[in-house]
Structure 1
Amino acid sequence: MPETILSKTVLDCAKLTTREINQQLKALASEGIEQVEVVNPAGRHNLAIALEHPITISFQGSVGYYCGGLCDRATIEINGSCGWSVGENLMSGQITVQGNASANAGASAHGGKICILGNAGPRAAISLKGATLIVSGNVGHSSAFMMQQGRFIICGDAGENLGDSIYDGQIFVGGTIKSLGADARLEPMTAQDWEMLTQELHPLGLDAKAYEFKKIVCAQELYHFKAKDFSKWKDAY
């Protein structure tokens, strides 16, 4: 059973299965417990999945893949690194990763915010649908592939094919871009963009003006198929 210390509930994963961990987290959230510290996560996969009530969860250690997926209104902090697809299909709330993230960070996230205070692997923000994904370091190739809505802020460098087949949304890169994908283009930064970046990065201890941000949006050349543009579609797909 979880141990309650003052206003904090401590949940030790050492002798629990993944199903039991998630069942207890859901029960605590439904009971109105505000804060849970999870110890000994030991890189387990599928932790804190599909939480539907407001709760703050702090993982003391690294976690595996799909942590925080499908969550609504939860606040999750990972004091370590995480596997692929952190925050997959996130609906609302916030996930903060103090270390690095593997591939597909924020995949298909509809809302909320995911902050990775390290590097992220390939395909970060793939099919992003409205959330905000912030990476303080670098991201790998094919990030923001088929991005549909939302905001993707990369303070470091971006790998090949950034924003390939992007449909909508905004990408900001503070470092270098190895290459842009099909239908992605650079757009001039505005004063409103800099103001937004300052507001998003300041709470993370980051200074937007310390980076040379570039803005990437959809060129809208692939919105409608035209025979004369077949080569562009071929390159994209």
Structure 2
Amino acid sequence: MTQGTTQQTRSEPLPETVIDCSELTTRDINQALRDHAAAGTEAVTLLNPAGRHNLAVGLASPMRIAIQGPVGYYCGGLSDGITLDIEGNCGWSVGENLMSGQICVKGSASANAAATARGGTICVLGNAGPRAGISLKGATLIVRGNAGPSSAFMMQQGRLIICGDAGENLGDSIYDGEIFVGGRVASLGADARFEPMTDSDWTMLTSTLAPFDIAAQEYDFKKIVCAKELYHFKAREFSKWKDAY
């Protein structure tokens, strides 16, 4: 059920709308979000999500969405231009293949946060599980806490910023992009290496983290990039490939 909708012209933004998810199917909820976006609603709040999967997916609108509670898998995935706040924890693959916009998880995220995300910013204010930023393709993923093993696996572009500790095999098979870790790095994966921090790196971190009330200077950030030793197979380097794969 929806509440708070008023009759206005399509050229005027509609006031905030509240949707109670408890009596609706996931399809109904997502269709309601699309309908409100088409009508020009500026903001929607979802109540009682109850850990449901696939909420707020496939949206292409600058509408603001606030979800009051924990969500399941793929929340905000396949979207373009949304601003999404999740007041709780989330399951696998939050923000998968995000094209643009912003998603903020005000809890912790399970595995594969921001998988294949191409643009925008995903911020997890708690911890992130394994494979955070897997196959990242241009977006920025921020984790204020710790990130699990194999984060940034097969990363292709973009940035992964981990303010806490990073698990084993960080950046394994990275192709391009940048990783910043403010805490301890358990180990690097194949073809990942440390690179000295620059003034421009610190400037970027300061401006990127500030909107989420995170002070970059409070952390001892290290930078990890691709070593580019495995871009092309060479027989004399077979041992490196054997160890990596």
Which is further off, 227-236 or 189-198? Answer: 227-236
Equivalent-residue separation in structure 2 for 1:142 and 1:223 (angstroms): 19
Alignment of 1:1-237 (within 5 A): 1-4=1-4, 7-237=15-245
Equivalent-residue separation in structure 1 for 2:199 and 2:191 (angstroms): 25
Equivalent-residue separation in structure 1 for 2:80 and 2:244 (angstroms): 33
Gaps of 5+ in 1: none
What amino acid is aligned across from residue 90 of structure 1 in structure 2? L
Per the alignment, in what secondary structure is the counterpart of residue 175 of structure 1?
coil
Equivalent-residue separation in structure 1 for 2:231 and 2:118 (angstroms): 21
- Deviation track 1:176-214 (CA, whole Å, cap 9, x = no partner) reads 000000000000000000000000111111111110000
Equivalent-residue separation in structure 2 for 1:180 and 1:53 (angstroms): 38
Per the alignment, in what secondary structure is the counterpart of residue 192 of structure 1?
helix
What amino acid is aligned across from residue 162 of structure 2 in structure 1? I
Equivalent-residue separation in structure 2 for 1:79 and 1:234 (angstroms): 44
What amino acid is aligned across from residue 155 of structure 2 in structure 1? M
Equivalent-residue separation in structure 2 for 1:127 and 1:121 (angstroms): 15
Per the alignment, in what secondary structure is the counterpart of residue 138 of structure 1?
coil
What amino acid is aligned across from residue 235 of structure 1 in structure 2? D
Calculate the TM-score normalised by the size of structure 2: 0.95
- 1:235 Cα shift? 2.5
What amino acid is aligned across from residue 2 of structure 2 in structure 1? P
Equivalent-residue separation in structure 1 for 2:242 and 2:59 (angstroms): 41
Equivalent-residue separation in structure 2 for 1:141 and 1:113 (angstroms): 21
- 1:236 Cα shift? 2.3
Equivalences, count: 237
Equivalent-residue separation in structure 2 for 1:169 and 1:235 (angstroms): 23
Per the alignment, in what secondary structure is the counterpart of residue 36 of structure 1?
strand
Equivalent-residue separation in structure 2 for 1:41 and 1:60 (angstroms): 7
Identity of aligned residues (%): 70
Equivalent-residue separation in structure 2 for 1:56 and 1:233 (angstroms): 46
What amino acid is aligned across from residue 194 of structure 1 in structure 2? W
Gaps of 5+ in 2: 6-13
Calculate the TM-score normalised by the size of structure 1: 0.98
